[in-house]
Chains A and B, each alone.
Chain A
Amino acid sequence: MKTIKVYGPGCKRCEATAELVRETAQSLAIEVDVEKVTDPHAIALAGVMSTPGITIDGKLVHAGGLPDVAKLASWLKA
């Protein structure tokens, strides 16, 4: 079980990113717990400067814009 956090204030792009993470994980049959973090303090303190940001098990892998599906898959498998 991987713990994934999607950081973003709740804009459309952040919603889409969280959804994309869920779909991609499901297609790879990887169990994930996706949590959305919308508090601006928490976003800033996680080191995310442009949203949406993604951490997988605490490691920041992406910040800013919708992630590429192929890359997302490789982060999830790592």
Chain B
Amino acid sequence: MAETHAAPISPQWSPRARHGAVVASIFVWYAVYSQLPSVSEWIVSLLPVNRQSHAGEALAFFFYDVPKVLLLLTLIVFAMGVLRSYFSAEKTRAVLSGRREGIGNAMAAGLGVLTPFCSCSAVPLFIGFVSAGVPLGVTFSFLIAAPMVNEVALVLLVGLVGWQVAVTYLVFGLGIAMAAGYVISRLRLEGWLQEWVRNIHVGSAIPPGPDEEALGLADRYRMGIEAVREIFAKVWIWIILGIAMGALIHGFVPEELMVRITGADAWWSVPAAVVIGIPMYTNAAGVIPIVEALIGKGAALGTVLAFMMSVIALSLPEMIILRQVLTLRLIAVFIGVVGCGILMVGYLFNLLF
């Protein structure tokens, strides 16, 4: 291979051109978004089904909600990508190290939402936190909030269910992350970490993270676009499957059935929702369209909320990843404490609404 390739450097835009492109994209976005209802009705009218039939209902739901959710997701994920570029795991660790429980748990839950996080690096992050003197319970608050309160869940809730439920989810998701982390702090379970982790904890010789990279606004835009690309690669199939599933429920499932199974009167419905949610492996994108359809069919809000939180916050793959640093006993406590928090939220909402 004698020939050398040209350096793979992206076209260099001036900062002003970049700002202009972002502003122009937002206008285009708005124009498309505002025309969506009429375009989707038009598409459904072209299909050989009666708009008033079950199938017509299901199709109208599908053709309106899929593009709506994708559009909302693009905007919010980009904005969150730019916002997250101001945060990093290293900075968050510096803020949290040596924090007392209580205030530390609250800060960790908030930072869990804002710090870039991928569950694939949960183990290195856990080690990085604990070895730098972030208390175990505070680390847990971060690890609970990070996957549970995420922009994909919030966008889907706002887009499909309503902003009130989205705000409720945000507030109680953060609340559970803080409270569960606090409880784990008080239980003093440091001895239940895997042995190799406890050894690191004592004499930590881990090098600090890389020097901070200087980022211009152009870099931050790039990170926003990167975030959009990555989220889309990961969730588009779940969104389409989830909304298709929701559309079927909308069109075909009889209402009385849902009320009987998931209504507020059945006391066992909340724990059942939590237990069923744990092994279910999907993400917010797959579960929320189903949740929306269930609410539409008369399912109780608390039960549905508990189901959603359990699916998103307690996932089997994440437990398997954490098994490398936590003993089984500690994982059981973790599931138990978070599960209890979700149960309480579920019952509370069934009582209130």
Listed in ascending order, the chain A residues whose CB lies under 8 Å from chain B are 7-9, 11-13, 20, 23-24, 26-29, 40-41, 43-51, 53, 60-66, 68-71, 73
Contact = CB atoms under 8 A, between A and B. Distances in A.
A27 B196 contact: no
Contacts of B10: 69
Contact of B121 (A28, A50, A61, A62): A50
Interface string B92-125: 0100000000000000000000001110110111
A11 B222 CA distance: 20
Given A26-B4, A69-B7, 10 more contacts: A9-B120, A40-B324, A41-B196, A47-B207, A49-B89, A60-B210, A62-B210, A63-B89, A63-B210, A68-B219
A69 B11 CA distance: 11
B8 interface: yes
A50 B209 CA distance: 9
Contact of B124 (A23, A26, A48, A65): A48
Given A41-B196, A48-B124, A51-B121, A29 B90 contact: no
B274 to A, nearest CB: 28
B46 interface: no
Contacts, number: 107
B207 A46 contact: yes
B128 interface: yes
The A interface, classified by DSSP as helix, strand, loop or mixed, is mixed
Given A11-B120, A44-B128, A51-B120, A62 B213 contact: yes
B202 interface: no
Interface in B124-150: 124-129
A60 B124 CA distance: 14
A47 B206 contact: yes
B187 interface: no
B15 to A, nearest CB: 15
B40 interface: no
Nearest to B214: A71
A71 B200 CA distance: 32
A29 B124 contact: no
A55 B203 CA distance: 23
Contacts of B223: 65
B7 A51 contact: no
Contact of B7 (A24, A41, A50, A68): A24
B88 interface: yes
12 contacts: A9-B123, A13-B230, A23-B8, A44-B124, A46-B206, A47-B207, A49-B90, A49-B125, A49-B209, A62-B210, A65-B226, A69-B10
